[in-house]
Amino acid sequence: MPIYEYESKHPGKGCEKCRTRFEIFQQASEAPLLECPVCGKPVKKVMSWCRAAIVETPEETARVESKIKQYEKEGMWSHAAELADTHAEKTKDKALKTRALEDYKRAGYDARTLDKHARND
């Protein structure tokens, strides 16, 4: 069930609950609240701040992640490392770069060479 946020239509008026934003669980099909459930003063639905934190994964990144997981599952460490390394360079993704280095180590590459490679970013 979705969570919606509301606040008083008239700043500074209303009860403690509606003077600041409050959340309420509602079915998507339900009409928006028109008044505060505590004091009955008019309220309005507001944009949730958490929406700004949602990041969509680009389609290409999702495909690459899926392929890397497949290679890792099959024990094809050098393939996974190469793909992760290439995509990390392209996207400047440090976590993916670390994953590539871990896969290179699993594939048997010399750790000293890899550490040097990691510092050259």
Report the C-alpha gap between 76 and 23 in whole angstroms: 48
What does the pLDDT read at residue 52?
47
> Do 44 and 66 share a domain, yes or no?
no
> Do 40 and 78 share a domain, yes or no?
no
Q: What is the pTM of this model?
A: 0.51
> Do 81 and 67 share a domain, yes or no?
yes
Whether the Cβ atoms of residue 91 and residue 84 lie closer than 8 Å to each other: no
Q: Mark which of 36, 53, 70 sits at the end of a domain.
A: 53
> Do 110 and 67 share a domain, yes or no?
yes
Q: Is 31 exposed, middle or buried (0-12, 13-18, 19+ CB in 10 A)?
A: exposed
The single residue listed with the structure tokens 């590459």 is 109
List pLDDT tens digits, range 51-94.
Answer: 545 566 788 888 999 999 999 999 999 999 999 999 999 988 88
Nearest to 102 by CA among 74, 60, 57, 72: 72
For residue 110, which amino acid is it?
D
> Do 72 and 97 share a domain, yes or no?
yes
Q: What angle do CA 34, 54, 22 make, to 5 degrees?
A: 30
How many domains does one find in the chain? 2
Whether the Cβ atoms of residue 7 and residue 43 lie closer than 8 Å to each other: yes
What does the pLDDT read at residue 82?
94
Q: In which domain, by residue range, is 29 found?
A: 3-53
Helix (H, G, I), strand (E, B) or coil at 116: helix
> Do 41 and 93 share a domain, yes or no?
no
List pLDDT tens digits, range 21-59.
Answer: 888 888 878 899 999 999 999 999 987 665 545 566 788
What does the pLDDT read at residue 27?
84
